[in-house]
Amino acid sequence: MIELRAERVLVDGRAEGEVVVLERPLSLWGGLDVASGEVVDPRHPQKGAVLSTRVVALPVGRGSSSSSSILLEAVRLGTAPAALLTLEPDPILALGALVARELYDRCPVVAVLGGEAWAALATGQWATISVGGGLALASRRPLPEEPPA
């Protein structure tokens, strides 16, 4: 297991899920199907990837300020990512997550990673994010602990 820390936390919380590293930026407006959580941008190299409940690493957000409303709707429908990890602060994604927290009392974690943490990410890993930006990466989902006898 690799233990890391986010450089900056924009929207704090706990999250865990399978990591999906996007090769290119993604605009949620027109790029994400909120009903399924699937990447639908026909020009995106990971078209068809499902981001719902996953820890999504995207270098930067791309475009439209409407992406915050798309993220908000995905939270309402239960199809939002568990977390969004970026290399640069993205106020549009943070806004969508903060409004979701206010309206629905749940939202994805939004955090900025430094280069070392970013380089450690790989699609298929299992990520656990703790309050304050702690990030633990494992090669696979940990087995549930058995209760003491």
Enumerate the active-site residues: 64
Give yes or no for a contact between 22 and 122, defined as CB atoms under 8 angstroms apart.
no
Backbone angles phi, psi at 27, to 5 degrees: -90, 125
46 backbone φψ class: left, alpha, beta (φ>0; ψ -120 to 50): alpha
Give yes or no for a contact between 7 and 20, defined as CB atoms under 8 angstroms apart.
no
Closest CA to 82 of 10, 21, 18: 18
Q: What does R_g of the chain's alpha carbons equal in angstroms?
A: 15
